[in-house]
Chains A and B, each alone.
Chain A
Amino acid sequence: MRMDQYLYPYYAADKASLGAEKVQELVDLLWIKMAGVNKVRDEGSTQAFGGYPMFQNIIVGGVDRHGEDATNELSLILMQATANTALYAPSLSVRIHEGTPTLFWKKAAEVARLGLGMPAWYNDRVVIPALLSRGLTLEDARDYGIIGCVEPQVGGKTEGWHDAAFFSMSKVLELALNNGYDPMGKVQLGPQTGSVEDFKTFEDVVAAYQKQMEYFVKLLCHSDNAVDLAHAKNVPLPFLSGMVEDCIGRGKSVQEGGAIYNFTGPQGVGVANVGDSLAAIKKFCFDEKVLSLPELKAAMDKDFEGTEELRQMLVNRAPKYGNDDDYADEVAVMATDIYCAEVQKYRNPRNGIFQPGLYPVSANVPLGCVVAATPDGRKCGQPLADGVSPQGGFDTSGPTATVCSVAKLDHTVASNGTLLNQKFSPDSLAGEDGLQKLIAVTDTFFKRGGFHVQYNVISREVLEDAQANPDNYKGLVVRVAGYSAFFTVLDKSIQNDIISRTEQVA
């Protein structure tokens, strides 16, 4: 939550007697303490929540309850603590608004450049209207923090159940192309919405996807509500409820609807896969008619065994989400809107509403295990794309194109949070000029309606992995010298040069 806000009065009272160095040390020690906590999870959860995340998410900056800039000295000290400790926890987030001071932007960019994947950046211009549209008061919406990965909520007043489900949009499309039959589980899972032989237009395909979506989102929401009721009855949380307004006033636990704001937030996973798959179908099967849908389906059923040429066509000749290609992006936006529109129809038993999110934690990997080959050329069992990021290897036009694509999604409707991972090579962020580039990409993404972004700086390990598994890294651009190039098409000796250089720079 907003630590730079609630600790500020204490900091202001003590800073003179403690001195700057001691203050920083105390915060650094707190960070180390927070990284020392772990939680034992079951096997499924360890897959969906890879690493050891505790989701203690500290956010700094943004506007205050009156809409004024809330940045203070502590905002910068807390960011510095993440730089000093270089640990994976606690999670550090920053809020950006029109009036964010340059000093704050720069500090956040400096920390991002260290390659810790932090801070995560949030856009007040999208998050505040998103929360307003879900019934928060203006003052509360302005006072949001982040819980878990990317979920905005106002602390102390909300029971958000933000990880209510990881929902595979890609599976829904698979069922739409199989008349409701699950080719992996070998069972009729969904309603019969027509077989590929029946689809005469692209709209027919989308209509089947829509019907499968309606059916499965309804199942999802009913299941969530059953779990919600069971939690309220069997595992109430009285201590937590004592901390959340207005549980005591209403005499109800958080599970019974004691909180002021109540939500259920299931995540759609596979934005890029569904977008790229539908774009390939639209282009090849209907616009250009170079391939019939049953032919494509037959190739997918065999996991492209014996049809590698066809798979290469799907991979290299179809437009791909994440490259600022309007054809692909419009399809991805449409397919995602269908998911979000369905989710927000439902209410939960705590007198709250369902709100969709678009982030996977690491569930895109296990969810990919149960989806067969897809029309984007992805093979059976391969991971789905993470969050609203493009599919790895398909983002071949650079970070500016990627953020342009991602900003085309409706991030306001996905009020439970969206997640974009973006990679940079260390040399692209070097120097004062490098900070300005990072800021320019973030600022432009936010002005166009992005919700969240976080940056990874490519490490030696990533480059070595790219050398071993080039297919996963087709979009990885590195600086050779006066020229940038795709890493995977470089000669091995040059790749080695760059790998050794990366070590020196990073």
Chain B
Amino acid sequence: MNWTDKLYDFNALQEPEWEPRGLVFDVQRFAIHDGGGIRTNVFMKGCPLDCLWCQNPESIRWRQDISFIELHCIQCRKCVEVCPVSAIETDGNEQRVTGIDRKKCILCGACFKSCYAGAINIIGRWLSVEDLVAMVRRDSDFYIASGGGVTFSGGEPTGQPKFLLAALQAMQGIGLHTAVETCLHIAWEQLEPLLSHVNLLLTDIKHMNSQQHSALTGVPNDLILDNFRKIAARNIPVRVRLPLISGLNDSTQNLQETADLVFSCKNVKGVDVLPYNRLGISKCRQLGSEYALADLAPPSREKVEEAARFFRDVVDDVTIGGA
């Protein structure tokens, strides 16, 4: 079982009856910056945050999405023929397919099934834990040889707690190192049962000021920081990730406060400074949505180094881009 098997398994488009079921939008082998060693990343759908700079906008909604990559379209117009609700947008003369009207689209997948060029995709497949284990265990030898394992990312993996718990247990059951990348915006009662099956948490600290955090991500940071400190008290290994967004969270004050927080929590094994990138722009276009930071430039190398220095003072392992 590979991810590509599910990608074109049209049955996996329908939400099944059975539990635990997971809505996953990618399973990426040879992920090498998300928890150490060679890993497989499981990208889960849905996120309670809506960060302005989101590089995986296809992950945000708790249900499936449809994307259109114009570059891949060969203008065969099959999608226009098969769409039952006339949701395929064409230019004025109806010559060229230009996009999808999300208001009309019912996510039936008919266009995706007939799009051999791979221009239209439904984002998200329903997986069982058994399927996921079958995919992930294919690279077990590489994890062992490199000190890697499996990383659940997203989206927000803890947003599907039943599936995540079962998946983590199953992965640990076959001896794999487990990492979970989480925004920590989740009720402690839901988070807590997961923690005993996690070897490493990857956690974003996006802004220390709650008001600012709200403006940038749509939610205040109180719950996040509260969870962060509880995890520190449990001494669960954490890597802190700081998305560095010019003008939004790179002030000296914010960096210093974040560094102070890291210093006060001895469970923090390292810090990854993740410079802002514009991956979200083309993805938003493919999803037919607006991207909030269209004009923002990635930070210069010097700026990134400067930010990293705040953390080098408080923890040994600081990377730019993740580890």
Chain A interface (Cβ within 8 Å of chain B)?
A: 308-310, 312-313, 316-317, 319, 323-325, 396-401, 404, 427-428, 431, 433-434, 436-437, 439-441, 443-444, 447-448, 470, 477, 479-485, 489-491, 493-494, 497, 504
Contacts and interface: CB of A to CB of B under 8 A. Distances in A.
Interface residue tally on B, bucketed by range? 35 or more
A90 B31 CA distance: 34
Contacts of B243: 482
B2 A483 contact: no
B146 A489 contact: no
B2 A479 contact: no
Interface in B141-180: 141-142, 145-148
B155 to A, nearest CB: 12
B275 A481 contact: yes
B76 A481 contact: no
Given A399-B30, A433-B36, A480 B55 contact: yes
Given A397-B29, A439-B146, A483-B56, 7 more contacts: A308-B74, A312-B116, A480-B55, A481-B55, A491-B278, A493-B278, A494-B277
Contacts, number: 133
Interface of B: 2-5, 8, 28-34, 36-38, 55-56, 69, 71-72, 74, 76, 78, 116-118, 138-139, 141-142, 145-148, 241, 243, 272, 274-279, 281-282, 285, 298, 301, 321-323
A482 B71 contact: no
Nearest to B77: A309
A400 B30 contact: yes
A437 B282 contact: no
B71 A489 contact: yes
Contact of B281 (A436, A447, A491): A491
Instruction: Sort A-B residue pairs by CB-CB distance and give the 3 closest, nearest first.
Output: A398-B30, A440-B146, A440-B145
29 contacts: A309-B74, A309-B116, A309-B117, A323-B2, A324-B2, A325-B2, A325-B4, A325-B5, A397-B4, A398-B29, A404-B139, A428-B32, A433-B37, A436-B37, A436-B147, A440-B37, A440-B145, A470-B71, A479-B321, A481-B321, A482-B33, A482-B34, A482-B274, A483-B56, A484-B28, A491-B278, A491-B285, A493-B278, A494-B277
A440 B76 contact: no
Nearest to A477: B30
A240 B31 CA distance: 51
B31 A436 contact: no
B301 to A, nearest CB: 7
A400 B142 contact: yes
Nearest to B278: A494
A267 to B, nearest CB: 29
B142 A441 contact: yes
A436 B146 CA distance: 6
A421 B76 CA distance: 35
B38 A309 contact: no
Contacts of B323: 431, 433
Contacts of A448: 141
A483 B69 contact: no
B278 A437 contact: no
A401 B282 contact: no
A493 B295 CA distance: 12
B37 A401 contact: no
Given A433-B323, A440-B142, A441-B142, A400 B38 contact: yes
A411 to B, nearest CB: 17
**Which of the listed residues A317, A325, A397 has the most CB atoms from chain B within 10 Å of its own CB?**
A397
Nearest to B286: A489
Nearest to A398: B30
Contact of B145 (A317, A399, A444): A444
A491 B117 CA distance: 18
B116 A316 contact: yes
B138 A404 contact: yes
Contact of B277 (A317, A439, A440, A497): A497
B251 to A, nearest CB: 20
